[in-house]
């Protein structure tokens, strides 16, 4: 998704303890299976791609596996369909994981710490990283 989550492990709300800084890798990796409040960007993207643009038709919460369960997996396979994702974000996460640039503000980048991550891309969905004015 546009927030660069995996399995609805979205960036945490920047309030309270995390107002100025997102959680560390160690903190984020302690998260387990749980009900999460979806990031507003995730809700908007899901509305755009799955609900005819009606944000109120999208659940605001989801059940997700956490990093604890993800790190128990022998292999993590990420499928970048491309059609509903942004070209810059797809490239950003691959770069961050490949270069081991880890920041929980970009949750998928935490997968750089997993020993076996495979990306699968739909080439037709990679698009371009150009600027357009509408």
Domain boundaries, the chain: 16-125
Rounded CA separation 80/98 (Å):
15
3 state SS of 35: strand
Q: Please choose, from the candidates 102, 2, 100, 90, the residue with its C-alpha nearest in 3D space to the C-alpha of residue 43.
A: 2
Q: For 5-22, how does the pLDDT look when each residue is reduced to its tens digit (9 = 90+)?
A: 888 999 998 999 999 999
Give the pLDDT band of residue 82 (cuts 50, 70, 90).
low
Query: What's the half-sphere exposure (Cβ side, CA atoms, 13 Å) at 31?
Result: 25
pTM over 0.85? The answer is no
Rounded CA separation 107/20 (Å):
17
Say what the pLDDT of residue 70 is. 96
Fold of 16-125: Rossmann fold (3.40.50)
Q: For 83-134, how does the pLDDT look when each residue is reduced to its tens digit (9 = 90+)?
A: 677 788 888 888 999 999 999 999 999 999 999 999 888 877 777 777 778 7
Q: For 37-50, how does the pLDDT look when each residue is reduced to its tens digit (9 = 90+)?
A: 999 998 998 898 88
The distance between the two most distant Cα atoms of the chain, rounded to a whole number of Å, is 45
Distances (CA, A) of 133 to 32, 82, 124, 130: 41, 21, 22, 10
Say what the pLDDT of residue 99 is. 95
Rounded CA separation 40/36 (Å):
12
């Amino acid at each position: 998704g546009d927030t660069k989550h995996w399995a609805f492990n979205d960036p945490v709300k920047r309030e309270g303890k995390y107002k100025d800084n997102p959680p560390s890798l160690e903190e984020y990796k302690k998260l387990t299976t749980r009900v999460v409040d979806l990031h507003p960007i995730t809700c908007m993207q899901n509305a755009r791609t799955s609900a005819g643009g009606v944000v109120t038709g999208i659940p605001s919460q989801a059940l997700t596996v956490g990093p604890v369960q993800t790190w128990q997996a022998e292999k993590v396979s990420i499928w970048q369909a491309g059609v509903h994702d942004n070209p810059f974000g797809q490239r950003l996460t691959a770069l961050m994981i490949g270069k081991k640039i880890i920041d929980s503000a970009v949750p998928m980048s935490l997968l750089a710490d997993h020993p076996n991550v495979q990306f699968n891309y739909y080439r037709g969905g990679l698009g371009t990283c150009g600027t357009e004015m509408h």
